[in-house]
Amino acid sequence: MSTDGKIDVVVVEDSTVARELLVYILSSDPALRVVACARSGEEAIALISEKKPQVVTMDIVMPKMDGFETTRRLMETHPVPIIIVSSVYNPSDVAHTLRAMEAGALAAVEKPPGVHHPTYAARSKKLIETVKAMAEVRVVRRWPKAAQRSLPVDFPDAKADRAIRLIAIGASTGGPVVLQTILSHLPKPPPVPVVIVQHISAGFVQGLADWLGVASGIPVKVATDGEVLLPGRVYVAPDERQMKVEASGRITCVSADPENGLRPSVSYFFRSVAANFGTSAVGVLLTGMGRDGASELKLIRDAGGITFAQDEESSVVFGMPGEAVKCGAAMYVMNPESIGAALFALLRKSGIPMALPA
């Protein structure tokens, strides 16, 4: 924060109307201060170097240098928490948003509509909350691929005496890129279903599923209520629904109350994994703020499942996995590539017929 305690924000947006609206919304909160606005990627890079804000809101569609390329260059030269402000109604915008998150952006929110729109208040509140939350991420860390250490395919600690039936993953801030890394290490197709709760703004989950599917080479879909879990598929929890897995192998999605302020919640999901899959489950908790899923990862471990948490060095935010480590929920604490390699080894040693990764 600045010396007076305010959070300094740079707004990057090429549309005059949208830019003025964003400035109006952000300036309405006394904790935030818009210190500059940029109309292009080139202008943004120069302004951010000069103003050194705590947070940047980034448009996606801009002439010459789009939001993806601007984010990539900023993360190479002036790392700063970047929030993508995007239109979820434009599939191209959502695709670019996920690419920007791959380049280092921390979060994405839907562009607020005009002040007279019925969703204006809710979307404006979401934008302000996200800016405040991301300001707490002091260092946006990216792990260089050359420095990663993967476990060998014959992961020595893999348990050979159990049949794995489900891989359950929870993630939040910084999660999409980590999910991409882990899924890319799995056999194609994976011999068991993979089910994911990723905290992401409403409207982006279908784009996330599409992006993960292309990036990993594994079919990824948004889960629907009542569908049967199938091997070779990855399921992502839908917007604004709590998701659980039943002992029958079906997914249930309900409009239950938020947990830890979140819906979908990793905690809600992991409890069902522990209760209904027990020793045949693998639980993985990845980067993210807060403690969602940490205690419930411990339930999976106590039920005989195998549990992983992402390590601090590779986490954008070590909140959720850090809490899991503190409470003894994680049997293994690893970087994303090592988690992916370990999952492959566990599946191989479980005796499930599987193809080698591509």
Q: What residues are annotated to the active site?
A: 172, 199, 292
The pairs formed by 260-264 with CB atoms below 8 angstroms and a separation of 24 or more are: 260/290, 260/291, 260/292, 261/290, 262/199, 262/292, 264/197, 264/199, 264/237, 264/238, 264/240
Rounded distance between C-alpha atoms, residue 333 and residue 331, angstroms: 7
Cα 187 → chain centroid:
22
Instruction: Please state the length of the chain.
Output: 358
Q: H/E element holding 108? A: strand 107-110
- Helix spans in the chain (H): 16-27, 41-51, 67-77, 91-103, 120-134, 175-185, 205-216, 266-277, 294-302, 319-326, 336-349
Rounded distance between C-alpha atoms, residue 61 and residue 71, angstroms: 12
